[in-house]
Every structure is written in C-alpha cells, then in structure tokens.
Amino acid sequence: MRGGEINPRDTTTTATPSAIPAEGARRVGYAVLLAGVVAFLTSGAFLLAAGHTTIPTSEDYRPGPLWTLWVPVAVVLLLIRALPWRAPEGDLARRVRDRLGGRSGGAEIAVLFGCMLGFYLGDLFLYPVFCLVDASVCALSYYTSKVIFLLILPTVFIGSCGVMRHVSGPDLGSLATRVGEPWRWAGLGAVAAYLAMVFAPWASQPPDLGRIPENYALLVVVALSIAGTSLLEEVFFRAMLQTRLEILLGRWPGIVLASLCYGVAGVLAATYPDDLGVAIAMAISVQGVAGLMYGYLWSRYRNIWLNFGLHACITTLALIPLTDALF
C-alpha cells in the first residue's frame, strides 16, 4: 500500500530497513499486529467499563480524561501520514538498510528485551540501596537503572562501536540527526498540532506557566526528566528497538510491539492504582497509545529531533505547576 499504510508487507514505501520479510516473519508480523490491536482495544474497554477513565499524574502526561490523549494522538497519526502525502520513503528505506546491513537483528532485539528486564530488576535492587543513603534520593534509583540498562548497556552491545557489530560504516546516528531533506521536517506540523491541542480550551487543565520557583527545584526536575525520560526513551524504544522490530516484522507490527513495550515499561515510573491489572491497562492506554504517535513519527521521517522535541515538550507541560500555590 502507498505511503506506509497499515500493511506489514509494505516495505518498499515505508522506512523499514530491510527487504520484504520471509514468509514466516510475515505471519509473525500479522499475528503481532493483531495481538497488539486487541491489547490496545481490550485495555481501553476494560478501563472504561471499570470506571478508570482519568489519566494519573506523571512526568509524561497531564491528568485528565483518557479521550484528551486519545483524540490528539489519532489526529497526529493522520497528520503524519498526510505531511507530505507523497514522500521518497523508498530512498530513505535504502539508506537505513545500508546502515543496518549485516547485523543480527534477532540477537540484537533479544539483547534489548533483556535490557528492559534488567531495567525493571535494577530499579527493584537499587531503590532500597538509595533509600539507605538518604530517603530524598530514593527516586534516583529509577533514573540510575534507566541510564544503565536503556543507554549504557545497549550502546555497549549494539551501538555503532558495540561488541555485537559485524559491519563497518555509519550506524543510524548520522541519518537520524543530520536531516537535510525538507520533507523529513514536515512532521513539525504534526508536532505543533499536538501541542496546540494540549493548549486548546477543551483540554483538561490547560497549563498555567506561572513563574520560575525561587529554589529552582522545578527546573532541576524538568531537566532530569527531559534527559532521563524524553531523550533516553526515544533513543532506546524508537531508534534502537522499534527500528529492529520493523526489520523483522514490518512497519506497523514493529511500531505496535515497541509501543506496548514502552507502555508496560512505564508502569515503573507512573503513579497507577495498586491493582496490577488496572496499572497495566492504564499504561497501555496512556503511554502505549502515545508510543504509537512517537513510533509512527520516527518510522515516517527517521528524524530523531522531531521525537525529541515532541517528547520534551510533553514532559515539560506535564511537570509545570498549574497554580502559584505550588511555588
């Protein structure tokens, strides 16, 4: 199908860095896509039926009804597809294939899944250790584990100079950061549209920028969250994990699976109900849904600056106090 519609076989017009997957991989891709769609629909329906329709406060999303996230994400997905309607994605796909050629995709994906498990276990282990030092630094265990398992170890194993690298030449870094083609900046329209909807009159609790707190504590939190959440997560879940899943399964199966992983990983940081089922459903319906937006933005343009900018703005808006009483 044209322009990267939902079709795991369509690798000629999408930015997936491989030829058409083998028949077995295509079947797996369809199964993953179907299972992912069912997971998203089931999670949303479960939350609506159970009455859990409000997004909890977190460092990524403002509290409010679920529809205030779902509707803007749906609009942005359509805008990403339309801006521009016709784009030379075939050439971009070839360039991505050249940079990832010769790699062992399955092994690298296994390493990345292992890093996600290590992120969870690392936080469990480091939290009491940090609390022994000082109760005020307990939360740093999350960021420490994230940096170790979602940045340092993946870079050591599958980075441009990682120990699992079997090819010479540049990796995705230069392609993702040196964006000279104007059409690959067209996603700025989708990014601007999402932020405009956040500030729209009907948005739940539109942010009041207020003034900078005297002790600058908020600025430290915002800076830490942008570096430890926005930037790091886009590199790991989109540039590293999703790209390789697209190689193996196709564009939309890769996006959906990476988004589900991103959503479930968010259970660690978010303030969700104690009920594990509700927590996972909320993570999929909030962070996972946002992951679809980030994922398609990355897959369409392969411009990491768009992902960084959108994620950083969302994180900043989520952390800005709403009233002067918080200063």
Q: Which residue type sits at 249?
A: L
Q: Report pTM.
A: 0.84
Separation of alpha carbons 241 and 246, rounded Å: 9
Predicted confidence band at 279 (pLDDT cuts at 50, 70, 90)?
Answer: confident
Residue 316 lies in a domain: yes
Domains contained in the chain, number: 1
Residue 288 lies in a domain: yes
CA 296, 298, 302, 306 dihedral sign is positive
pLDDT at 160: 66
Residue 160 lies in a domain: no
pLDDT at 169: 45
pLDDT at 252: 94
pLDDT at 183 over 90: yes
Residue 133 lies in a domain: no
Residue 275 lies in a domain: yes
Distance of CA 290 to the CA centre of its chain: 7
Residue 194 lies in a domain: yes
pLDDT at 98: 78
Higher pLDDT, 22 or 283: 283
99-136 burial, b for 16+ CB within 10 Å, e for fewer? bbeebebeebbebbeebbebbeebbeebbeebeeeeee
Residue 67 lies in a domain: yes
Distance of CA 207 to the CA centre of its chain: 23
Residue 310 lies in a domain: yes
At 8-67, the pLDDT tens digits run 444 443 444 444 456 777 889 899 999 999 999 999 999 999 888 888 766 566 677 888
What 3 state SS string does the chain have? CCCCCCCCCCCCCCCCCCCCCCHHHHHHHHHHHHHHHHHHHHHHHHHHHHCCCEECCCCCCCCEECHHHHHHHHHHHHHHHHCCCCCCHHHHHHHHHHHHCCCCHHHHHHHHHHHHHHHHHHHHHHHHHHHHHCHHHCCHHHHHHHHHHHHHHHHHHHCCCCCCCCCCCCCHHHHHHCCCCHHHHCCHHHHHHHHHHHCCCCCCCCCCCCCCCCCCHHHHHHHHHHHHHHHHHHHHHHHHHHHHHHHHHCHHHHHHHHHHHHHHHCCCCCCCCCCHHHHHHHHHHHHHHHHHHHHHHHHHHCCHHHHHHHHHHHHHHHHCCCCHHHC
Domain range holding 82? Answer: 23-102+167-326
**Range scoring the smallest mean pLDDT among 11-20, 242-251, 262-271:** 11-20
At 111-167, the pLDDT tens digits run 999 999 999 899 889 888 888 888 777 878 888 888 899 999 998 888 766 566 654
